[in-house]
Structure 1
């Protein structure tokens, strides 16, 4: 039997945000089955080179994939939604999917301290 790992995600977009977050929701639901989704929230940009409002959303899912394979798949989904290697440097984030935690391992402790991540996580149902 495959071991199941609990994963905590935060997604964001500042370019046609609702559209890209809904695309990600559909794709992730197809890949991973039942996912616990938070509400899409609008937040201020975090960082000096980012502009415009962001739309963020948290999610929790279970998978048998390794954290490395999971991140690789997230990067593919980001690319299919228009993310390029230089887009974030230009302040353009069509889709960002961050793996915050994998089982009991916190992968992005600094992100968990950001206000927009806390807001998104508080809406998980």
Structure 2
């Protein structure tokens, strides 16, 4: 099964996003990564901007197991999921599963507005995206465009 997922962080976001991409590569071997962008918080009040990106992975794990693995990563990065208000607080890491598909076709998936251009970009559509951030997971300098990454 292919999964469309999002990463968000607004506490040391460059550090946490770079680190988790490397950790995802270690666990899953490869992923397709969108550009990363800086966004203002949505649905919460914070002074800290987010770094957000999308990724697609292929995994034999069912959705529940994949979410469990993502929660483990969030906890390892210092997220307090025991806090009832964790959805509206600053966070070092948030990984969500947005959709799944046997063939990996996600172009028509409904995502939050700030992620729409990233989704279009992942599917090869020409879009102008403001606020792109260059990432360097595992010491690799990435372009500000979608790319397939493999475990090194």
Bin of the TM-score, shorter chain as denominator length: 0.7 to 0.9
Q: Taking structure 1 as the reference length, what is the TM-score of the superposition? A: 0.82
List gaps (5 residues or longer) in structure 2.
Answer: 103-108, 123-145, 147-152
Report the Cα distance in structure 1 between the residues aligned to 2:87 and 2:64, rounded to whole angstroms. Answer: 24
The answer as to whether partners of 2:28 and 2:59 remain within 8 angstroms in 1 is yes
User: In the alignment, which residue of structure 2 is the partner of 1:54?
Assistant: 50
Largest Rg, 1 or 2: 2
SS of the counterpart of 2:30? coil
User: In the alignment, which residue of structure 2 is the partner of 1:108?
Assistant: none
Structure 1 residue 90, shift from structure 2 partner: 6.0
List gaps (5 residues or longer) in structure 1.
Answer: 105-110
Report the Cα distance in structure 2 between the residues aligned to 1:31 and 1:89, rounded to whole angstroms. Answer: 25
Aligned residues: 115
Report the Cα distance in structure 2 between the residues aligned to 1:51 and 1:123, rounded to whole angstroms. Answer: 28
User: In the alignment, which residue of structure 2 is the partner of 1:121?
Assistant: 119
Report the Cα distance in structure 2 between the residues aligned to 1:122 and 1:16, rounded to whole angstroms. Answer: 27
